Amino acid sequence: MQLSFGQKLLIAVGIIILVIMGLFTFAADRRLQSTTDTYVNAMLDGAVQQSTANISDWLNTRLDMTEATADALVETRSDNMAET
């Protein structure tokens, strides 16, 4: 089968377009992957910082309650007085 010059040119241009589109797709995918990783890591860091602050506040509240209970029980001499 003989191809005319126009058909050969059309095939060559089609192949070039496919290669260029493949390269653009690959580059865009890599960029999107990098950007997504950056945003996900930033969101995780923010969530960890918020959780750490909440846990710290909760522990400090429990410590304050324990210290207040200890201060209140300093003068007690028996278990019955402590329960009251």
Any idea where the domains of the chain sit in the sequence? 7-68
Query: What CA–CA distance (Å, rounded) separates 30 from 23?
Result: 11
The pLDDT assigned to 72 comes to 84
pTM above 0.95, yes or no: no
Q: State the burial class of residue 37 (Cβ atoms within 10 Å of its Cβ: 0-12, 13-18, 19+).
A: exposed
pLDDT of amino acid 43:
95
Residue position matching structure tokens 């209140």: 72
pLDDT for 61: 95
3-state secondary structure of 8: helix
Banded pLDDT at 78 (limits 50, 70, 90): confident
pLDDT band for position 60 (cuts 50, 70, 90): very high
Residue 83 clears pLDDT 80, i.e. is over it: no
Residue 55 burial (CB count, 10 A): 10
